[in-house]
Amino acid sequence: MTNNTFLGKYRGPWTLLKKEMLRFWRVAFQTVAAPVITALLYLLIFSHVLEGHVQVYDGVPYTAFLIPGLIMMSVLQNAFANSSSSLIQSKVMGNLVFVLLTPLTHFEFFAAFLCAAIIRGLVVGLCIYLGAMWFVDLHVVHPWLIVAFALLGSAVMGTFGIIAGIWADRFDQMAAFQNFIIMPLSFLSGVFYSIHSLPPFWQKVSHLNPFFYMIDGFRYGFFGKGDISPVISLAIVGASFIVLALITLKMLKSGYKLRA
Amino acid sequence: MTPAIQINGIHKNFGNLHALNGIDLTIAQGEFFALLGPNGAGKSTLISILAGLISPTAGNISVMGFDVVNQYQQARQLLGVVPQELVFDPFFNVREMLCFQAGYFGRGPENDAWVDEILEGLGLTDKANTNMRKLSGGMKRRALIAQALAHKPPVIVLDEPTAGVDVELRQMLWEFIKKLNREGHTIILTTHYLEEAEALCSRVGMMKQGEIVALDSTANLLNKFAGKKLRLTLGDVSLPANIQALLRGQERGIYTFALSDMAQIEFVLSALRTANIKVQDMQLSEADLEDVFLSLVGNSAVGKSS
């Protein structure tokens, strides 16, 4: 029965978080190892082809420039994948009913799925960072900016994943979400290049891409250099999270697509 | 005493379809209650509203005095619902699922003994560490029932728990559920095995087209609607008009009549004698819930689930 200890009070959402973490950990080969290998392959190929030919910031080799972008891209994609795939699977399999029958509040539901998404994103990001250390010696100028952007960025994408998971009814709708929204936004956000290298029009377009702020701010933490001020990026990413979180909570509270 | 379930004026519309038309129902604590009705009668819709999976268009339901909408946390804490669909989570084994399910309701390691009791009671002990995906259909059904019981709810709702399961499981399940009922748990059952409802439940509600058409103790319903059942083997004949009203069914020359008292036996037999129809065989039995069900919801309803 519930009791007054911290765990007793929050055992419900903690259990849901634990289940969500175990869910991806049970298939870690697919959910952690695969994205790490993919990112390291990108790193291997792009650094081999472009190292020495391209320099984005003074004194920063291309491989070093590339690593924070790849880490953040993977953090974001995996945070999204965790909440969205868990929800769509539970909906299609029908086992989401086990959670819907419980006294968990919509806020607890949100918090558990969000935290699991953040943790998966951070685990993948950390593994890529450790792997990338073989390639280049990375210095860190502002570690707290790195932590802040990793947390907020994965929170934005974890929340976006919850929205997508609630909205989608079928796997192909989810795949469309991933292939037509998440992938283009993450590839066109300045992972592989500085947006200053783009023509002015595409620079402006890039400023509409939320991924750009997450990646630029995260990279600023490593080099102390970026395309725009990290304070602006942090404000934009933070505001995005608040807006998306409010939308998600409203959807969950109303029971949109989950309760008839 | 606060009723286990109090349903007041529940309406539910899906567009133009009126799935529920003003359901009022009170189920006392400790009852073993059956909710019967043909396909589309609205039983599952009513249970979904009770469980908070669907919101009502009008009316309210409370579980042990807690409103299922405004006080959903308290209401759901007291309620265990076995869904009709055979759903499972393929990532985990049976024991893990039960511990998660109890955990969602705030129950921790102190609940483990109860989890063991459920596993034992439902014959799942050997399968406790087996992944849900690897269980047979019958075992999955047991696990589904076990999950609804994991937080030891005082009010248990079983929505067609024995649909498509073998006799052994049915008996095992009913023994376990009867034990829970003796210990004070309120049980609400929907089933289309009428004999199960008759054997187990002290009170029955019958639904038809979103309304409750009969609500009484099982014994009263059986007395009220049909006292005796007379089965006569007559062959291919045309029945005299004066006994047609008593006819409840006919199949391959066997005619079943519902009789309110013994005197009607002679009435039927004399009508047959007058019409020169020979009785090849005769059986007299007590009416069962199926007869009540037939007389209330019509022939077409039997044998379908909802």
Q: What is the pLDDT of residues B222-278, one digit of tens each?
A: 777 657 788 899 888 888 888 888 888 888 889 988 887 788 888 999 999 998 888
Residues 69-128 of A with CB under 8 A from B: 90, 93-95, 97-105
CB contact under 8 A, A102 and B105: yes
Complex ipTM value:
0.91
Size of interface A-B (CB pairs under 8 A): 87
Q: What is the distance between the alpha carbons of residues A120 and B153, in angstroms, rounded to a whole number?
A: 34
The answer, yes or no, to whether residue B162 has pLDDT greater than 50, is yes
The string over A85-98, giving b where at least 16 C-beta atoms fall within 10 Å of a residue's C-beta and e elsewhere, is bbbbbbbeeebbbb
The answer, yes or no, to whether residue B198 has pLDDT greater than 90, is no
- The pLDDT, as a whole number, for residue A3 is 59
For chain A of 260 residues, list the mean pLDDT of each consecutive stretch of 10: 70 97 95 95 88 76 91 96 96 95 97 98 97 86 96 98 96 93 89 85 89 95 93 96 98 92
Q: What is the distance between the alpha carbons of residues A57 and B1, in angstroms, rounded to a whole number?
A: 76
Each domain of chain A, given as residue ranges in start order, spans 11-254
SS (H, E, C) chain B: CCCCEEEEEEEEEECCEEEEEEEEEEECCCCEEEEECCCCCCHHHHHHHHHCCCCCCEEEEEECCEECCCCHHHHHHCEEEECCCCCCCCCCEHHHHHHHHHHHCCCCHHHHHHHHHHHHHCCCHHHCCCEHHHCCHHHHHHHHHHHHHCCCCCEEEEECCCCCCCHHHHHHHHHHHHHHHHCCCEEEEECCCHHHHHHHCCEEEEEECCEEEEEEEHHHHHHHHCCEEEEEECCCCCCCHHHHHHEEEEECCEEEEEECCCHHHHHHHHHHHHCCCCCCEEEEEECCHHHHHHHHHCHHHCCCCC
- Other C-beta atoms lying within 10 Å of the C-beta of residue A58: 6
What residues contact A1, with CB distance under 8 A and at least 6 apart? Answer: B106, B107, B110
pTM of the full structure: 0.88
Out of A7, A90, A97, closest to residue B83 by CB: A97
CB contact under 8 A, A101 and B48: no
CB contact under 8 A, A1 and B107: yes
- The pLDDT, as a whole number, for residue B10 is 96
As a whole number, mean pLDDT of residues B68-75 equals 96
As a whole number, mean pLDDT of residues B279-306 equals 67
The B-side interface with A (CB below 8 A) comprises 14, 48, 51-55, 72-74, 76-77, 79, 81, 83, 85, 87-92, 96-97, 100-101, 103-108, 110, 147-148
Q: What is the distance between the alpha carbons of residues B10 and A212, in angstroms, rounded to a whole number?
A: 52
Q: What is the distance between the alpha carbons of residues B233 and B281, in angstroms, rounded to a whole number?
A: 5
Q: Which of A75, A90, A73 is nearest to A16 (CA)?
A: A90
Residues 14-33 of A with CB under 8 A from B: 14-16, 18-19, 22-23, 26-27
CA dihedral of residues A66, A69, A74, A75 (deg, nearest 10): 140
Tokens of A107: 């806020």
Whether residue A255 lies within 8 A of chain B, CB to CB, comes out as yes
CB contact under 8 A, A105 and B73: yes
Q: Enumerate the residues of chain A whose CB falls inside 8 A of the CB of residue B53.
A: 97, 100-101, 259-260
CB contact under 8 A, A1 and B88: no
Compute the nearest-CA separation of A114 from chain B (Å). 17
